[in-house]
Structure 1
Amino acid sequence: MLTYIKESIEELRTNITLPARAEATNLMVIVAVFSILFALATWGVDSLFSKLITFYFDNVINN
């Protein structure tokens, strides 16, 4: 286990490069936009299911 940790730290030091600030900013904006779109899509589906369940229990079960 200790060897694995040492090799992981060494790999992080030698093989990993961070993107430039401009590229990181662009990627952050893309992630934020897709996160907002996904949240809105989830909200929409949740609202639709909520209305369908309410309709079902109000009209189908109670009649």
Structure 2
Amino acid sequence: MAGLANYITESYNELKNHVTWTPWAEAQRLTLIVIVFSVLFSLAIWGVDTVFSNMVEYYFALVKS
């Protein structure tokens, strides 16, 4: 149990004194960029999926007739 307490204490000390944190404004800006690109990428995947789905449906409609 002492090892766990030592680990937590050292981890806290490392995070508090030795880690360089990104400024809050930059973190917000980068988060917004990630959100925008995630939405754009998901819309692109949705579009490609819709096109391929329609192509497969059309193909099977041709084969069925």
Shorter chain as denominator, the TM-score bin is: 0.7 to 0.9
Q: 1:29 aligns with which of 12, 28, 32?
A: 32
Please list every run of 5 or more consecutive structure 1 residues that lacks an aligned counterpart in the other structure. Answer: 1-5
Return the letter of the residue paired with 2:56. Answer: I
Q: What is the Cα-based RMSD across aligned positions, in Å? A: 2.3
Is 1:62 the equivalent of 2:64?
yes
Higher alpha-carbon Rg = 2
The size of the alignment, in residue pairs, is: 60
What is the deviation of 1:36? Answer: 0.3
Please list every run of 5 or more consecutive structure 2 residues that lacks an aligned counterpart in the other structure. Answer: 1-6
Distance, in Å, in 2 between the alignment partners of 1:38 and 1:54 is 24
What is the deviation of 1:16? Answer: 3.0
**Secondary structure class of the residue paired with 2:60:** helix
1:1-63 correspondence to structure 2 within 5 Å: 9=11, 15-59=18-62, 61-63=63-65
**TM-score, structure 1 normalization:** 0.73
Deviations 1:1-48 (A, max 9, x none): xxxxx7xx5876665311000000000000000000000001001100
- Which 4+ residue blocks in structure 1 deviate beyond 4 angstroms? 9-15
Report the equivalent of 1:3.
none
**TM-score, structure 2 normalization:** 0.71
